[in-house]
Amino acid sequence: MDRRVALVTTVLCLGGGLAACTSSPVTPDVLVRVAADAYLRNGRTPAVARDPELATGRSGTEAMVSYLRFQVTEVPRGTGRLRSTLTLTPLPGAQPGLVELVSVPDTGWSERTLASRAPQVGRVIGTSTITTSATALTFDVSRVVQSTGKYAFALTSPDGLLKFRSSEAPSGAPTLRLTREDPRTGRWQDPASPTPADDPGTTPPSPGGPSPTPSPDPGSASDPVPPPQPPTEPVPPSGDPVPPTGEPSPIPDPNQPSPGPTAPQSSPSPAASTPAPAQPSPSPSTPGPDPTQAPVPTPSPAAPSPSASPSVSPGPTVVPTEEPEEPPAPACTVGPKLVPTCGILTGVAPAAHTNQPRDQAMREFEATAGRPQQIFHHYHRGEELFPTPWEVALAREPGHERLLFLNWKPLMRWDRVAAGDYDRVIDRLAAHIRSTYTDPFYLTVHHEPENDVIAREGSGMTARDYAAMFRHVVERLRAKGVTNAVTVMCYMSYVPWNVQPWFGDLYPGDDVIDWVSWDVYAYSEAGFGYGDFVEMVNRTLVGKSWPGIYSWAARTFPDKPLMVAEWGVWQSGGNPGHKPWFFATTADQMALFPRVKALVYFDSPNAEGRDSRIDATPQAAAAFRGLMSNRMFDVRLPAR
C-alpha cells in the first residue's frame, strides 16, 4: 500500500472512530410492494376479484379481515440496525377507529387460495388509531422483518368498517420500507415515502381518463366467488344488535330461503348497551353500591406517520411476483407462557353451579361440543389445596392433555393478605404445588374483584389493596419455588365498574401478570347485553368514554395476550333462536380480536337463575359444534 494512502486512512480512522474503519457504507432504502393482498368477508368469502380496496372491521354483523404478503429479496447493506415499516393508504372519509396489524406465520396462501386457506394469525405487531384526516397509516414491523424472506400480515379492527388502497389501485398500494442505520453517525437514512413504482402489470392512466384495469395476477381468481348462504337458524337484527322496538328478534321460518350476506356498508359503529341494574357475572357475590359511573379517559396513541424529508434517494421498488408453490401451513403450538403461536385455545368451566363431578362433566361437555377442550377451568377458595388429584389426572389424560386454569380466592381482607397475614396458607399451597404439579398452568387470584371493591380509604378492600394482595401472593409463591404458574388478571367487565375512577388501580403490574382476561355474557332478550359476539366481547356504553374492554386492553396492555376467561349466552324462552345464531357467527367475528388467544366457556344450568348451557336446545348444541369445528382452535398441546 502506498505510504501516503496508509497515512490518510489512519488519520480518517482516528478522526472518525472505530466505526469509520469497520462499517460498510449504508445503501439506500429498499421499498417492497405487496405481492398479494385481499380481504375476506366472514372468514370465508373473498372480495370481488381485483378489488382496488382492502377492508377491515365490521359492517353490520359481517366481519372483514385483510391479508397482505410481501416477498423481500434484498435489504439495505450495512452494519447498522435495520428498521422496517409497513405503510397503508386509507381511503378518504375513514371514521376514527382502532387498527391492528398482526403477524401471520402461514405465508403459503395466495389471493387465489385465500378463501380456502384463511391463515391463522399470530401476535399483534402494532396498534394505531386512524383519524378522519389520515393520509397514511404506518406500522413498525422491525421485530418481524429483519432479513430477506416471505412475510405475511393480517389487518383487523374491532370498530366500524375501514378501507385502504390495495395493490389493484392505481396508486397507494401497501409497501414495506427497509431502512439501514448508519453506525458512523447513528442516523437513519430516512427519506419521505415516495410513490411506489407502477406494477408491471398495470397501464398508467391517461389524463382525465378512467382508472386502469390491472392485468390478472397469477395467484388471483379472475371471477368473484359467490358468498355461501348463512345458517337457516333464526337471525337477530343486523347492524344494530339492540332492536329499537325493544322486542326480541323474530325467528324466520327455516323452510324459507335465507338471504345472502349483506354487502359492506358505510361505517357503522358497534351498538352500545345500556347497563341493567343486575350484575352480568354468574359468580356468586353480593352486589356493591350503585356506581357513580364516572368516565375514564380513553388512551389515544397517535398513529405513526412517514418521515418528513429525504436524506438519500431510495433504492428501486421491489415488485415480486406470486409463487406457484404453497407450502403446508405451520402447526400452531403453545409457548412457555401458554400463548399459542397462532390460532386460539378453547376451554370450559363445565357444569358450573352443580354437584356433578367436574372431570365427568368435562368429558360430557367435550362429547357435546365435538372437540376436546384445551383448557379446564375450576375454582378454589381459602385453604383448599390445588391442583387436586383428579385435576392432575384430567390434565394428563393420555391423548387428551389439557391445560389447567385454576381460580383461587383467599378468604381474607386484601390488605391483610398483602401484609403477610395469609403467608402460612400461601406457603402450604406452594409446597403442595411443587410436590404435585410441575407443568405450566394458568392461575388467577380473586377473579372479578370490581364487585368487592370498597373505595373508602382504610377499608382494606380498595382497588390498590387488591393490586397489592395479588402482587404479594404471586411474589410469595415464586419465592417458595412455584415457577410454573402463568398468572392471569381477570376483570368482571361490567361497564359501570370499568368507568370508575379506581378501575385502573386494580392492575398489579406487568411483572406479576402474564395474561389479561375478563368475564362477559350475552343476553338473548332485547336490552343490556343483547347482540352478537362483537357486542359481548367489546361492550361499550352510550354517553360514556368507555371504548369497550378489548379496545381498552389493546391500548393499556400492548404486550399481554388476552383471554375471555368466562363467556356464555343466556338462554331465553322468548327468543330461543338467538343462542344458536350467536354461536354460528362467533368464529367469523373472532377474527376482529387477534389479541384474544383463549376462549373459556362457562357452562351452567343455573347461574343465578340463568342457563348458559351449550345444549340448552338441540339447535344451540348443533351451532356450538359447528363453532368448535373451526380450525382456528387447532392448537397442539405438548404431550406429557
Q: What is the pLDDT of residues 491-509, one digit of tens each?
A: 999 999 999 999 999 999 9
Reported as a single tens digit per residue, the pLDDT across 430-480 is: 999 999 999 999 999 999 999 999 999 999 999 999 999 999 999 999 999
Q: Are residues 312 and 376 in the same domain?
A: no
| Residue 495 belongs to some domain of the structure | yes
Q: Are residues 384 and 307 in the same domain?
A: no
The contacts of residue 548 (CB under 8 Å, 6+ apart) are 158, 270, 537, 538, 539, 540
Q: Are residues 430 and 309 in the same domain?
A: no
Q: Are residues 507 and 591 in the same domain?
A: yes
Where in the sequence is the domain holding 71, given as residue range(s)?
Answer: 24-196+301-318
pLDDT of residue 225: 30
Taking Cα atoms as reference points, which of 501, 510, 495 lies closest to residue 281?
495
How many residues in total does the chain contain? Answer: 640
Q: Are residues 551 and 497 in the same domain?
A: yes
Q: Are residues 310 and 349 in the same domain?
A: no
Q: What b/e string do you get for 86-95 counting C-beta neighbours within 10 Å, with b at 16 or more?
A: bbbbbeeebb
The helix (run of H) or strand (run of E) holding residue 515 is strand 515-522
Taking Cα atoms as reference points, which of 154, 70, 157 lies closest to residue 342?
154
* Distance, CA of 308 to CA of 357 (rounded, Å): 65
Which is it for strands 137-140 and 45-46: parallel, antiparallel or unpaired? unpaired
3-state DSSP assignment of residue 637: coil
Provide the CATH number for the domain around residue 469. 3.20.20.80
* Distance, CA of 42 to CA of 632 (rounded, Å): 14
Cell numbers given for 165: 388502497
| Residue 249 belongs to some domain of the structure | no
Q: Are residues 476 and 614 in the same domain?
A: yes
Which parts of the chain sit beneath pLDDT 50?
1-20, 191-313, 322
pLDDT of residue 608: 86
* Distance, CA of 437 to CA of 376 (rounded, Å): 15
pLDDT of residue 183: 81
pLDDT of residue 7: 42
Q: Are residues 102 and 138 in the same domain?
A: yes
Q: Are residues 361 and 310 in the same domain?
A: no
Number of structural domains, the chain?
2
pLDDT of residue 363: 96
Q: Are residues 309 and 369 in the same domain?
A: no
pLDDT of residue 45: 72
Taking Cα atoms as reference points, which of 77, 303, 330 lies closest to residue 183?
77
pLDDT of residue 325: 54
| Residue 79 belongs to some domain of the structure | yes
* Distance, CA of 24 to CA of 600 (rounded, Å): 53
Q: Are residues 152 and 46 in the same domain?
A: yes
* Distance, CA of 471 to CA of 469 (rounded, Å): 5
